[in-house]
Amino acid sequence: MKKIIWICMIGGLLSTIASPVNAQKRVARFEKEFQKTLALVNSDQFTVKFYIATPTVQTLFTPPGAGANIDINPQACYLSMNDSLVTSKLPYFGRAAWTSKSQLDSISINNVLFSRTVKIYQDGKKQAIAYQITVRTGEDIYYLNMDIQYDGTCYLYFSDRKRAPISYVGQITKRD
């Protein structure tokens, strides 16, 4: 009986010691991944491939998962930064597309960016990046607000003067 009590006490002691160690390792891993993602964003040499589109309804931004999510092909939906040149092909789904799920329009950009803002913020226990760019074309101004998580997951909120806002979910990678 005494052996069982000693084994339980030792097991309890080891679990309380191991828990903070695991937490520290997890925090260190999050920080390492965040620094890698931040370096990629600051290099302005990256591509984001999107795999989910979420048309908005009445609010300015629809958080991913809160609307009618549409699965899209990441090879056909991307945003690429090459220093100050922004290139993108984003499928746009309007209100009529919600019933048929067919692509109505696409947004293509191949212009120099007008403005760029990068801010680091705390997202719970992890850090994230708020990346905002504005691109002017001859006929329109595009506003692209991206939340980039520590692991490279990106949430893009796209708006312009002609369309209802739409959001995309994707993953940031190094430019090919």
User: Domain total for the chain?
Assistant: 1
CA distance 130 to 17: 36
**Tens digit of each residue's pLDDT (9 = 90 or more) over 16-31:** 555 666 778 877 888 8
**Tens digit of each residue's pLDDT (9 = 90 or more) over 121-149:** 987 778 899 999 999 988 889 999 999 99
Q: Which residues contact 132 (CB under 8 A, 6 or more apart)?
A: 115, 116, 117, 118, 143, 144, 145, 146
Q: How far is CA 65 from CA 61, 82, 92, 125, in A?
A: 12, 30, 17, 22
Query: Is 12 a member of any domain?
Result: no
The mean per-residue pLDDT over the stretch 77-97 comes to 82
Query: Is 141 a member of any domain?
Result: yes
Query: Is 143 a member of any domain?
Result: yes
* Domain region containing 88: 36-174
Query: Is 11 a member of any domain?
Result: no
Helix (H, G, I), strand (E, B) or coil at 99: helix
Query: Is 10 a member of any domain?
Result: no
Q: Which two tokens stand for residue 21?
A: 């160690």
Query: Is 2 a member of any domain?
Result: no
**Residue 94, domain CATH:** 2.40.128.410
Taking CB atoms within 8 Å and a gap of at least 24, the contacts of 101-106 are: 101/70, 105/163
Check whether 37 has a pLDDT greater than 70.
yes
Query: Is 118 a member of any domain?
Result: yes
Instruction: Tell me the whole-structure pTM to 2 decimals.
Output: 0.76
